[in-house]
Structure 1
């Protein structure tokens, strides 16, 4: 039996744990404000908030409910648009009305829920942060300037919130309902009353992390499929420093990476790189291990961690083993992994001060899109010489690739335009792109050249861009 709080009511269900949350709230709880749109996590019409205990606070994040299995909300607080309604329009809804930020209204509940999540997030109340909160919501009829103005008004509502617990502040100022202040204690009581891992089906070999790709590819099958839901397993979460290593739990999400103090300390630009990965709701759900196991040739996290020489810890529940990520892919969608194994942790050596890292991606649109070609570069520099090098690339072969020959060629050499040109020539001999919907073979070869140049221009500002000709 799955138990969680839905808006202001505790609910229990014996529906299959693979049932998507969207269908549960609409067809079983009769809450139609959460809309059915793309069912692929792109449009944001089905956005809900999911709150869970994190240390001493309730952390709320926006989720696309069309890709969220019930097994992933066990013991949590799920908020639909009905759960933020008040006797009159709440100030978030009123801002949308005042700025004419809605026309047909179909997608408006998703925007309102995402902005409610911003109000509960504890982020700095800036217009930029408010607009970023709706980066997973699409409106096809109103125009975004009016929505941006509404988001700016919401940010102004939070101007005096610094230092106060978000749920208390929004309740005290009647931005969101009073019941939010009781959720922390109610979740604690629910956790004490719930059997641990009650939603994990023994013997199941289908592992589910965030489900952001599985529920797109296998929507109908996932409902009844026996699965192990990993997102709530405490031993699979967290990002910590252990001596000279960064250790990442397999169920850590992309948002966890972006918010990690360890990652921010050693990779100041990493959060900006992650903004190129999908949208806020998907980053809130998608796990690092899931990105690796998905085995997409253009998986953004995979490309980043190939350059960082990440190591995977695999376990079948009895024994554990380690394997380099660089040896994990044997062919298109073929993994060096037994069916009963899952990735419990990922680790890599933290870089020295002389190490530089960069990520580049080209896609048809800047955000919420998959790459045509992406690439990462990690270099250790000393006295103008490249001591070690690792350049990875996606979209140029059947698997995510480490460009070994090009990486080995630049190691031990002084940075120059001539060196880069020769490295480009070597890289072209290592790849085998195909023409598809994301570009022709010729185009992808050109993109890889441009992305490698972009790495060097970003990491060595003294280089002359005009001299890095095709």
Structure 2
């Protein structure tokens, strides 16, 4: 049984755990304000808010999610908010809705509910509301007819109104200002009672679907689906593993609805920590949790710039790191980033035995993993970069944001006395698997940061890749892209170097 609060009402359902939350909300609960758009997580018309009880049991952390790709089982023990659940008694518009109306930010209105929910979720955030963070909150919403300037003006007005929001007890203030109804203040206690009533922690494996392990995959633009989860020798690996849902619910929704699944999104394998010179991630850590991690941001100060290129806020709230890995997409953004960091995966089999495998060794061929059918990724680690190390990630796609890469690449260097002493370069979209360019890295060792070194590395790199022509570009175009992105790495590492020298 899946139990959660939908707006201000408790819900208990035996619907399949792999059902799309969107379909449950519209067809089971008849709340049709949440719209069906692309069904791929790109347009944002189906955006809802999902609130999860914090460890202190006193407050909720809300995130925007695309309900078309949210497995119903993932909202067990949580608070789901649709557009029908945000207006105060009396039906007057909220400040978010009023700002959009006043700034002429709605025309046909189809996408408007998604913008409203995303901005309402931003209002519920504990983080300061700035112009950039408010605009970023709607990076997963597409408007097809109004134009974004009116929505940006609405966002600017909202930012100004949120300047008075208190740092603590903000839900009470938001309720008084009619951003959300009064019942929001009661939800933490209601969810705590629901947890006690069901006798479970939030979001366990639902409907008795507690085995698992058919291979699962992710879409290559960072839409991650985790191949990790708890297991025991008494539980045979017979069912698909389902985490964020951001790829499988695009490709196999009807199939998954017809069978038991093992839910992994809330199984505790989250978070980032440092241990004995290594950074360790739970396999179900989401892209948003990477972005929010003080450990990751301290080691990779430009991480926000990199992850801004990976899908959108709602998808980053759902997609997991290990899921991006096991999808085995040749252009998985997180995979390419972690290859250059020298990541290793920990695999656990059904008997409980663990083994480590370098991420680069996980890929045997196109969509083929060096992983037994009963093995799951449980943990990811990489050596913590030193303060003076260089790291950079680059991506080119037809759209700058929310798009699949044509080519992506990352590079890590350690330089001592102007000589490269260690190097890793990765590349996606130029071979059948995500590539760690071992020969290119070896070439760089012992050489200076110079234009000649970059030219030589490019020659080695071009011999190491094997791009094909497809809808994302010709093979020749991809070779040119990777060359230019290699230049971009070194221009970042050695600002005194010029593009003219590299040519």
Per the normalisation by structure 2, the TM-score is 0.91
Map of 1:228-267 to 2, 5 A cutoff?
228-234=262-268, 236-267=269-300
1:54 aligns with 2:86: no
Q: How does 1:4-83 map to 2 (within 5 A)?
A: 4-56=4-56, 57-83=59-85
- What aligned pairs does 1:29-428 form with structure 2 within 5 A after superposition? 29-56=29-56, 57-86=59-88, 87=90, 88-196=92-200, 197-199=204-206, 201-205=209-213, 206-234=240-268, 236-317=269-350, 318-428=352-462
Q: CA deviation at 1:198?
A: 4.7
Residue 226 of structure 1: how far off its partner (Å): 1.9
**Structure 1 SS opposite 2:408:** strand
Give yes or no for contact 1:354–1:382 (8 Å, CA) kept in 2: no
Alpha-carbon distance in structure 1 between the residues aligned to 2:174 and 2:452: 59
CA deviations on 1:218-270 (whole Å, 9 max, x unpaired) are 12212123211100101x11111123111111111000000001001111101
Q: Which moved more, 1:276-285 or 1:333-342?
A: 333-342
Per-residue deviation, residues 37-88 of structure 1 (Å, max 9, x unmatched): 0000000000000110233331111000001111111111111011112221
Deviations 1:165-215 (A, max 9, x none): 332221122221111111122222222222443515133321111010111
CA distance in 2, matches of 1:252, 1:80: 25
- Specify every segment of 5 or more residues in structure 1 that has no aligned partner in the other structure, as ranges: none
Q: Distance in 1 between matches of 2:412 and 2:336?
A: 11
Q: Secondary structure at the match of 1:372?
A: strand
- Judge conservation of contact 2:205–2:264 (CA < 8 Å) in 1: no
Over aligned residues, Cα RMSD in angstroms? 1.1
Deviations 1:437-463 (A, max 9, x none): 000000000000000000000111111
Instruction: Confirm or deny: 8 A CA contact 2:18 2:253 kept in the other structure.
Output: no
Question: When the two structures are superposed, what TM-score results if normalisation uses the length of structure 1?
Answer: 0.98
Cα distance in 1 between the residues matched to 2:450 and 2:166:
49
Moved over 3 A (4+): none
- Aligned partners of 2:374 and 2:173: how far apart in 1? 46
**SS of residue paired to 1:12:** strand
1:454 aligns to 2:456 (yes or no): no
Contact 1:119 1:166 in 2 (8 A): no
Distance 2:475 2:54 in 1: 46
Aligned residues: 468
Structure 2: runs of 5+ lacking an equivalent: 214-239
Instruction: Classify the secondary structure of the residue corresponding to 2:290.
Output: helix
On the 8 A contact 2:87/2:178 being kept in 1, the answer is: no
Distance 1:166 1:328 in 2: 45
- DSSP-derived class of the 1:134 partner: coil
Moved more, 211-220 or 426-435: 211-220
Distance of 1:121 and 1:224 partners within structure 2: 36
CA distance in 2, matches of 1:338, 1:107: 43
